[in-house]
């Protein structure tokens, strides 16, 4: 961090923006293996929140890596930096009064804990999309597991790189034997309760 920077405080606060939007703002973090359904759930939940007039924005792993994080690899160090940058973006979105949905593998517990230190524990909701590796490989929507098994992809989470499952997530969704509609409703019910709104 540059020693020649001074934090600028503005007159309009997060609380002012939340009041304008008539709802709280926080970061909803979907974590799980590739193919677990994180992005699908985040997308469907956002659609339902939008229908209720709630201000939202989605951050997705693939999209972020095509833009602000396109200079990062999948090494452990770059994965950590990837998540740190996303947490900082999430922090800005929260301060803008927007409920932010983030769908990222985010395989390391320490990185997810660091998100809390950046956005604040009260502003962070961790949702573990718990889908077995077998089911994720069966889906293999992007063909990544096939490439990883053949050696074309290095540092593939669940194959050649670890995934550290959350120990105490705010919500755990086990998708192997649950429909996407039921999973979406479970998440939505949880978020609505956090917002203290009528369903």
Bind-site residues for ATP: 32-39
* CB neighbour list of residue 151: distance below 8 Å, 6 or more residues apart: none
Q: In what order do the strands lie in the sheet with 27-31?
A: 56-60, 99-103, 27-31, 124-130, 171-174
* CB neighbour list of residue 121: distance below 8 Å, 6 or more residues apart: none
172 pairs with which residues across the strands?
128
Active-site residues, by number, are 106
Q: Are 100 and 2 in contact, with CB atoms under 8 Å apart?
A: no
Distance CA 22, CA 37 (A): 30
**Annotated binding site: which residue ranges?**
32-39
Beta strand pairing status for 27-31 and 124-130? parallel
Distance CA 61, CA 105 (A): 8
Q: Are 35 and 146 in contact, with CB atoms under 8 Å apart?
A: no
């Amino acid at each position: 961090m540059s020693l020649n920077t001074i934090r600028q405080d503005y007159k309009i606060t997060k609380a002012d923006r939340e009041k304008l939007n008539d709802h709280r703002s926080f970061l909803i973090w979907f974590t799980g293996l590739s193919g677990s359904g994180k992005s699908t759930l985040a997308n469907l939940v956002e659609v339902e929140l939008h229908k209720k007039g709630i201000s939202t924005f989605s951050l997705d792993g693939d999209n972020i890596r095509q833009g602000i994080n396109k200079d990062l690899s999948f090494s452990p160090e770059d994965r950590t930096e990837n998540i740190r940058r996303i947490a900082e973006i999430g922090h800005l979105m929260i301060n803008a009064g927007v409920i932010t949905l983030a769908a990222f593998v985010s395989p390391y517990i320490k990185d997810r804990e660091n998100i809390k230190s950046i956005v604040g524990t009260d502003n962070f909701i961790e949702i573990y999309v718990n889908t077995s590796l077998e089911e994720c490989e069966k889906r293999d929507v992007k063909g990544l597991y096939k490439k990883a098994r053949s050696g074309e992809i290095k540092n593939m989470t669940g194959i050649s790189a670890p995934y550290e499952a959350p120990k105490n997530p705010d919500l755990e969704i086990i998708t192997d034997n649950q429909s996407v509609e039921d999973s979406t409703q479970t998440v939505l019910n949880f978020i609505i309760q956090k917002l203290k709104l009528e369903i």
